[in-house]
Amino acid sequence: MRPGAAALLGLTLAALSLSFHPAATEPYSPPVDPSALDNAQALGPFLTTLADLEGGRRNTPIHILQIGDSHTAGDNISGGLRARLQARFGEGGRGVMAPGVPYPALSQRQINVTVSDGWRVEASFPTGYGRFGLSGFRLTSMADGATVGLTADPEARFDRFAFCAQGGPGAGSLGVDTGEVHETIDLNAPAQGTICWSADLAAPASQATLTARGGGPVSLLSYATFRRQPGIAWSALGVVGARLSDFAQRDSAMMASELAAYPPDLIILAFGTNDGFDSDVDIAAYEQLVRQQIRRLKDLAPGAAVLVMGPPDASRTRPDIKLDGIQNKGFDCAPLTDAERADYDQLVEARSPVLARWFEPPNLGPVREAQRRAAIAEGAAFWDWSARMGGPCSSHVLSRPEQDLMRGDHIHFRSEGGDWIAGLLTADLMGAYSARAGGN
């Protein structure tokens, strides 16, 4: 694990496991230009599909696929976006999900997942061994008869169910039961590869069960629920602690099979927070990495628009100061000065009192700007999440008791904070939609 990754991963797991917090009583208004969507014309094909759907010229769901880190994994922001767009454009399904329950106490909206004994969760980060697809996870059976059950909320009932799994020599089979469909899919194959399967149901279902059979191991990569009707499906695939370099290691052949099984109309790439907290980022190399991943997604999903979601404003204190409400009690926030940025390592080593405050990590802003440049160069849109929430030190303002939209780590959003962010991005997307012919 990279230096500092364990601490950040621990904070993230804690953030995902905490329960809903009461909403703030004084709504926060970001003191910035409300438009933070750069190169919105790159979203043209996606916006056209929205107009076709709303105008009755499309009778299948629009699929939005969000891939990212812990901000995506918690499904707070993506859940708020899904709810808002489905309220306007119709229910298109819950979309693609990581298999099983990758993190303890993780709650994904609209679908409840139960996993029996007899499965092993394998993650692309921090372990990174083996091959991974879109979700960054594998759920591998260790016992015949192990099950995964999905129960949909009433608004998320589905009439199309699909999954992708690893096939290969000695692989077992996977039983699928939706109440209407009872099938067993053989995953044993002469060579390693990805096997995707789907079924259209005559009537909407609320439950599906997957059962490992056949004696050999079964490795699930992802599964999805959709409605075969006009509407929005918003998939959220996040890995806690992940950086863009971790996503770059995921297997392109696996992702190609999954993207063919669950074709997206818009892909949102939402990394950067963990990259920006690293102390040794080569910004020029990082910009090239962003460009490479945008190109890879466009190659793997031709016709899908790409939106890069820049990292939010986030703050830290001097690394040796405990965030215990004692050592950091009463800290204010101020961006690093040019002199502090130039001498940052020496100030940290000397435990300088000038860093006894909240401030944005030195590399977070450069990472964000590298993403912006890469997105525009590669024909993708860029959403400046930091600017939209208020710019430097807005994470500090949002973590104060009178707002309480962010947690005390100044990195992660509470449930109502994630929903607030969802409202901001929805407003910007709908602003771009309204600006095009056919939007209203």
Beta bridge partners of 383: 37, 309
Beta bridge partners of 270: 68
How far apart (Å, rounded) are the C-alpha atoms in residues 384 and 337?
22
Residue 190 CB contacts under 8 Å (≥ 6 apart), including other chains: 169
pLDDT at 103: 81
Reported as a single tens digit per residue, the pLDDT across 308-334 is: 999 999 999 999 999 888 999 899 999
Q: What is the mean pLDDT of the chain?
A: 90
How far apart (Å, rounded) are the C-alpha atoms in residues 7 and 62?
38
pLDDT at 251: 95
Residue 253 CB contacts under 8 Å (≥ 6 apart), including other chains: 193, 194
How far apart (Å, rounded) are the C-alpha atoms in residues 434 and 437?
7
Q: In this structure, are residues 307 and 268 in contact, taking their beta carbons and an 8 Å threshold? A: yes
If DSSP codes are grouped into helix, strand and coil, which group holds residue 117? coil
How far apart (Å, rounded) are the C-alpha atoms in residues 167 and 172?
8
How far apart (Å, rounded) are the C-alpha atoms in residues 364 and 310?
10
Reported as a single tens digit per residue, the pLDDT across 1-52 is: 343 443 344 444 444 433 333 333 445 666 555 568 999 999 999 999 999 9
CATH topology of domain 5-21+37-316+360-435: Rossmann fold (3.40.50)
Q: In this structure, are residues 285 and 244 in contact, taking their beta carbons and an 8 Å threshold? A: no
Q: Compute CA distances 117 → 125, 143, 144, 146, 212, whole Å.
A: 23, 8, 10, 6, 11
Residue 161, pLDDT above cutoff 90: yes
pLDDT at 436: 81
pLDDT at 390: 92
> Which has the minimum average pLDDT: 71-80, 121-130, 372-381?
121-130
Residue 181, pLDDT above cutoff 90: yes
Reported as a single tens digit per residue, the pLDDT across 48-67 is: 999 999 999 999 999 999 99
pTM of the full predicted structure? Answer: 0.92
Reported as a single tens digit per residue, the pLDDT across 99-141 is: 999 887 676 789 999 999 999 999 988 776 678 999 999 999 9
> Which has the minimum average pLDDT: 29-38, 157-166, 260-269, 418-427?
29-38
Q: What is the domain partition of the chain in residue ranges?
A: 5-21+37-316+360-435
Reported as a single tens digit per residue, the pLDDT across 217-248 is: 999 999 999 999 999 999 999 999 999 999 99
Q: Can you say whether residue 336 is alpha, beta or left, with left for phi > 0 and alpha for psi between -120 and 50 degrees?
A: beta
Terminal Cα-to-Cα distance of the chain (whole angstroms):
48
Task: Please tell me whether the peptide bond between 126 and the residue prior to it is cis, using omega within 30 degrees of 0.
Answer: yes
* Residue range 129-158: mean pLDDT, rounded: 93
pLDDT at 440: 47
* Residue range 166-174: mean pLDDT, rounded: 96
Q: Which H or E run includes 269?
A: strand 266-270
Q: What is the DSSP string of 62-108?
A: EEEEEEESHHHHT-HHHHHHHHHHHHHH-EEE-EEE-SS-SSTT---
Share of the chain above pLDDT 70, in %: 90
Reported as a single tens digit per residue, the pLDDT across 275-313 is: 999 999 999 999 999 999 999 999 999 999 999 999 999
Buried b (16+ CB within 10 A) or exposed e, 294-314: bebbbebbeebbbbbbbbbbb
15 vs 432, more confident: 432
